[in-house]
Structure 1
Amino acid sequence: MVQIRPVRLVALGLTAALALSACAESERGGDDEGQSGGGQTGGTMTFATEGAPKLFDPFFATDGATFRTSQQIFEGLIEFKPGTADAEPGLAESWESSEDGKTWTFKLREGVKFHDGTDFNAEAACFNFDRWYNQTGAAQSPAVTGYWQDNFGGFADGKVPSLFESCSATDASTIEVKLTRSTSKFPDILGLPSWAMQSPKALQDYKADEVVQQGDSFVYPEYATEHPTGTGPFKFSKYDEANGTVELVRNEDYWGDKAKLDKLILRAIPDETARKQALQSGDIDGYDLPGPADWQGLKDDGYQLLIRPAFNIFYVGIGQKNVAKLRDLKVRQAIAHAIDREGLVQQQLPEGAKVAENFYPDTVSGWTDDVEKYDFDQDKAKQLLKEAGAENLTVNFYWPTEVTRPYMPNPQDMFGFIRGNLEAVGLKLNVVSKPWNGGYLEDVDQGKADLFLLGWNGDYNTPDNFIGNFFSDPNNRFGTGNSPWGQTLSDELKAADTEPDPETRKGMYEDLNKKLKAEYLPAIPISHSPPALVVAENVEGLVPSPLTDERFDSVSIG
């Protein structure tokens, strides 16, 4: 951010620099009648994903497969520059904030229409904000609107405080959004698929907010399953749920450069080996998350390996709810010294991975090298356990099955490596393995795991997106509220997030990163790993994103 009088102008991403007289503006668009860039136009691309979408309304989504589909259909006020984590204009051409960071004015792009032919304008934008804020009943469950609750807090009923206060249209192409406090996450957070602009008419016609709970499950309305309606370069065509296949078609009335592909097929193939075989047989044109062990072979066979910048963190979580000894800092330090992080990076992760010293990458503001280092030293680990009276400590160690994550390409092997390290210093482990979406995440979130493998792929370029999400609520999966410093950490994170001055905020996060390693240590940061995509030789124009935010409108098939 750059300060001017009397408003603060927003820099596009934490590393961008703007002249004082500049505005956040986009040059996106070009010839409305043409396709973006070079490359052949037409044809169909089939891309394999690691899972099927849960639904097609991004506001209710929590899964990567839904978000990937949404990124092709919908657009937000803010987007992310291809290949980076830096924000840039989307459906908003420019924006500025008040000096206190609580009032934001967005100038909207004109001449944009939703896929149903209705206008995108200030009234439509505020309709979306008001829709998010006014959810009731089953839709207030964290399982349904978890992203809103994690990032904005409560709803209009006032039961829980909300970051959002109001949205008003000051003219047909300008909106004013008021927040209840300043936050470092705004406005970049609006680049997430959850806050994409959706057609008010379609939302109303297909009863988008009529979510029904049935036992532990939720039934979503027709809008979310059959009629997602955005402004993006692709339109929803159909979904073959039995085969996990989504078909999208080019939006011929798109406001900017039209997609080159006639159709985009997103096909769910959960098994990584099966994805590779489908590519080799010609059934698909590319897939996500090839195993690191396959990288060189795929390149040798003529396929294009597209490596994303590492914008993630893999960690060993330490639950402080069930085992009193884990609330002893010496025990957590012993666990840190017991793990050969460098060995794990070299043996288990792809080229370009590196050991993590903070809980987020060094490209994010507030990262500092001046933190407590925990070198691999199993003798020291044993000594610390002895000093803590925890030489025969028994804990439940959880690891997930049926999943591949950008930060955790092979959970079983990574678990085995870390298990060996911990057992070597005398820890007794009760091993628990569960499917990722079949009990693992639920148990971890409920505090049943004493040690667990998890991580985070960044959504946008702020510290709050990492450590704020992890530790701001003392009732988190780490159980930090059970330790005397848990509330203090929460208060410190909230104070840093609400600080409006960027330099002051950066210093606050640097101090927090030091404390997280030296005084708190609620988890052990292990690594940052660059995930990849792989495509056939004739595929052009796919730009790998550190946010896994790849857009296919620029892709062509040769």
Structure 2
Amino acid sequence: MNTAAARRPGRRSPAGVRSLAVALAACLTLVSCTAPEEAPQPVKSSTVVEDDPGTFRFGTAADPRTLDPALAIDTESYRVTRQLMQGLVGIDPVTSEPVPLLAESWTEQDSGRAYHFTLREDVVFHDGQPFNAAAVCANFERWYTMPPSDHLDRSRLPFKDVFRAFSDQPELSLYEGCTVTSEYTLTLQLARQITSLIPALAAPAFALGSPAALTSDQANELSHSRSGTFISRFGAAPVGTGPFELVRWEAGEVELKSFANYWGEAGDVDRVVFTTITDAGARARALTSGRIDGYDFVSVDSAVDLARNGVQFLQRDPYSVLYLGLNQDFPGVDDVLFRRAVAHAIDKRALIDGRFLDGTKPARSFLPEKLGISTEDVTTYGYNPARAKDLLEQAGYDGEELPFYYPRSVSRPYLPAPEKAYAELSRQLVEAGFNIRPVPIEWSEGYVDAVQRPGDRAFHLLGWSGTYQDPDNFLGALFGSTSAEFAYDDSQLESKITRAGSLPAGQERSDAYADISAQLSERIPAVPLVLPISALAMSPRVVSYPVSPVMNEVFNRIDLADVEADGRRSG
């Protein structure tokens, strides 16, 4: 039996929030010794955004793609939806372990094939509708019965990653139903045990929307396009139970306001403005000029000068992986000798130097070290251009042009400077005998869609950021089913991943994921490159910020210097 007791979130996290007042010397250890191309202006004590003291302005690296978390797969969408919507399960700010949120407690039943949830009784949705067991089950049924037109061209949707299939493939799905047992209790039925279920329900994709809004705003009808992404009316204006509600979403800016009837602590922030600034250097200048109060994905080029100018840093523990994707539908890439040549051609340490913050490590597998899965049996391919050339010759590669897709005008947790990473990887591959053709694609113009559907690419750069603490969040999401991204069809591996997900926590389960990692290292559907450090920068008015390796950073837990502890604005 696994039962969790209720916990009400406080207004700040006493542990797990790294102090923002980082000394200059400490900040300098975060970066490699690469001089910035353009130095930001010094911070001045008077450069505070001219707004109400309760306004917090945050610089984001890209626009959100949708505000419907069930259909989102990107960091910037989740960054906004985490403020608006909540799930049954939360995340401990210190350990990243699951804790109660909208569910006060849960109990495992029937050997893990069912979970009984008891809900909070003091929660309402932003539209005034009650939060209860019927609302929870309505969300689960919506996710399960999502039309194929909504999910067939969207890889890695979390519902499929966790439950393996939707209602159009009931024989494959691990979801069997959601039963209301009283106004505030429900039972979730599963086809078999999902060991990671409770941690997975803390992921932002499982945030709960108002059933009335899901119906009236036709959440499953992706009726209009926004920056190339089809979304529903609900996806443009979601209704949840979070500490903030949506005011407006325009190109380049999202505005939120505090929800007056929020069940938890309101905190210091009563207005949030997300401003999209795609260039990392421009985000640094916006911070030092007072246009924004904080931003994410500090680049190596900006970090040294920001530190010298007194800007405060937050460093996340690494929980993402950058990889080089290999498309086995491209002629020749389906030969494992070719893929081994790619692996030998890459110098991961040279890739890290000057392009990633200090503390970033070469990746031996697709799993962050935090998960504690052994890599002892993983095959490693040392940097050896001569060996790569020999393998290419054995594979019969004749110098055919190899399209290499990479994103532009964006920063990701796993890829702070994509153009620079591409340039180094391309140089290494060319040195080993590959004929590379660069294919840059603007992130905002559908880069993710371009590399996750059938296409003419041989290589592409992408990564994965974990949203909950379990190896299935990485291996299940990336390789749990056949995807067009890698064109890698391995039913045996998929069965192993499904089995590992159902094993009880313990050594057998850890060994199963270690074996999966070893098999991936032999077959090389992609090359894991680095496990990056990511960092945020904050203005002096930010006293504390709820930094989280899984980016569970909800802004009602920010403390601001110009807001008094009792919530009254200081004069």
Q: Report deviation, 1:140.
A: 4.8
Deviation at 1:350, TM superposition (A): 0.8
- Residues 50 and 271 in structure 1, CA contact (< 8 A), matched pair in contact too: yes
- 1:546 to partner: Cα distance: 1.3
SS of 1:191 mapped into structure 2: coil
Question: Letter of the aligned partner of 1:323 in structure 2?
Answer: P
Distance across 2 between alignment mates of 1:366 and 1:192: 21
CA distance in 1, matches of 2:474, 2:455: 19
1:70 aligns with 2:50: no
Relative distance call for 1:478 and 1:447 in structure 2 (3 A) is: farther
Change (3 A) 1:219 1:362: closer
For these two proteins, the number of residue pairs brought into alignment is 524
The 1:205–1:430 alpha-carbon spacing in structure 2 relative to 1, beyond 3 Å, is closer
Matched residue SS, 1:398 = strand
Q: Which moved more, 1:90-99 or 1:150-159?
A: 150-159
Aligned partner of residue 333 in structure 1, secondary structure: helix
- Matching residue of 2:341: 334
Question: Given that residues 61 and 145 in structure 1 are in contact (C-alpha distance below 8 angstroms), is that contact kept between their aligned partners in structure 2?
Answer: no
Q: Distance in 2 between matches of 1:179 and 1:512?
A: 24
| Alignment match, 1:184 | 195
**Alignment counterpart, residue 235 of structure 1, candidates 237, 245, 262:** 245
Is 1:423–2:430 an aligned residue pair?
yes
Q: How does 1:61-140 map to 2 (within 5 A)?
A: 61-82=72-93, 84-136=95-147, 138-140=149-151
Q: Secondary structure at the match of 1:266?
A: strand
CA distance in 2: counterparts of 1:238 and 1:451, whole angstroms: 38
Q: Which amino acid aligns with 1:457?
A: S
Equivalent position SS for 1:211: coil
**Residue aligning to 2:8:** 28
In structure 2, distance between residues paired with 1:375 and 1:220: 44
1:297/1:391 CA distance change after superposition, 3 Å: same
After superposition, residues 148-167 of structure 1 pair within 5 angstroms as 148-158=159-169, 161-167=172-178
Structure-2 separation of matches of 1:118 and 1:432: 48
Q: 1:346 to 1:281 in 2, by over 3 A?
A: same
Structure 1 range deviating more: 141-150 or 196-205: 141-150
Q: Is this contact kept in 1: 2:12–2:558, CA < 8 A? A: no
In the alignment, which residue of structure 1 is the partner of 2:551? 548
Is 1:477 the counterpart of 2:481? The answer is: no
User: Residue 555 of structure 1: CA displacement?
Assistant: 1.1
The answer on whether the counterparts of 2:137 and 2:180 sit within 8 Å (CA) in structure 1 is yes
Q: Is residue 2:299 matched to residue 1:267?
A: no
Aligned-pair distance for 1:107?
1.7
Aligned pair in 2 of structure 1 residues 199, 453: CA closer, same or farther (>3 Å)? same
Stretch deviating more after TM superposition (378-387 or 104-113): 378-387
Distance verdict in 2 for CA 1:254–1:439, change over 3 Å: closer
- Look up the equivalent residue of 1:233 and give its one-letter code: P
Q: How does 1:20-419 map to 2 (within 5 A)?
A: 23-29=3-9, 43-82=54-93, 84-136=95-147, 138-143=149-154, 146-158=157-169, 161-212=172-223, 220-226=231-237, 228-239=238-249, 241-242=250-251, 244-324=252-332, 326-390=333-397, 392=399, 394-419=401-426
CA contact (8 A) 1:382 1:391 kept: no
Q: Mean Cα displacement is larger for which, 447-456 or 413-422?
A: 447-456
1:492 is matched by which residue type in structure 2? K
How far off is 1:391 after superposition? Answer: 6.4
Q: Who is 1:14 aligned against?
A: none
Higher alpha-carbon deviation: 297-306 or 84-93: 84-93
Match of 1:497 in 2: 501
Please give the root-mean-square deviation of Cα atoms over the aligned residues, in Å.
2.7
Distance 1:181 1:429, change over 3 A: same
Q: Secondary structure at the match of 1:524?
A: strand
Give the aligned partner of residue 15 of structure 1: none
Instruction: After superposition, give the CA deviation of every residue in 1:252-273 in whole Å (9 maximum; x if it has no partner).
Output: 3222222221211112222222
SS at match of 2:112: coil
Give the letter aligned to residue 184 of structure 1.
Answer: T
Structure 1 residues 123 and 478: CA distance shift in structure 2, 3 A: same
Equivalent in the alignment of 1:526: 529
State the SS of the aligned residue for 1:368.
Answer: coil
With over 3 angstroms needed to count, the CA separation of the structure-2 counterparts of 1:329 and 1:532, relative to structure 1, is same
* CA spacing shift, 1:144–1:467, aligned 2, 3 Å: closer
Contact 1:198 1:229 in 2 (8 A): yes
1:127 Cα deviation after fit: 1.8
1:213 Cα deviation after fit: 6.5
Q: 1:487 to 1:95 in 2, by over 3 A?
A: same
CA contact (8 A) 2:227 2:444 kept: no
Inter-partner Cα distance in structure 2 for 1:297 and 1:369: 40
Verify the 8 A CA contact 1:391 1:426 in the aligned structure 2. no
SS of the aligned residue for 1:332 comes to helix
Change (3 A) 1:145 1:363: closer
| Deviation of 1:376 (Å) | 1.5
Structure 2 counterpart of 1:321, one-letter code: D
- For the residues of structure 1 that align with 2:156 and 2:535, how far apart are their CA atoms? 29
Question: Secondary structure of the residue that 2:201 maps to in structure 1?
Answer: helix
Which residue does 2:22 correspond to in 1?
A: none
- What does residue 17 of structure 1 align with? none
Structure 2's unaligned 5+ residue stretches are 20-51, 562-571
1:364 Cα deviation (Å)? 1.5
Corresponding residue number in structure 2 for 1:515: 519
The CA deviation at 1:501 is: 5.1
Q: Give the Cα–Cα distance (whole angstroms) in 2 for the partners of residues 210 and 319 of structure 1.
A: 31
Contact 1:337/1:378 (8 A) holds in 2: yes
* Cα 1:204–1:439 shift into 2, 3 Å: closer
Q: Aligned to 1:466, what secondary structure does the other structure show?
A: helix
Taking a change above 3 Å as real, the CA distance of residues 331 and 183 of structure 1, as seen in their structure-2 partners, is same
How far 1:216 sits from its partner (Å)?
A: 12
The alignment partner of 1:480 has SS state of coil
Residue 433 to residue 494, structure 1, CA distance change in 2 (3 Å): same
C-alpha contact 2:225 2:231 (8 A) present in aligned 1: no
The CA deviation at 1:72 is: 0.8
More deviation, 450-459/126-135: 126-135
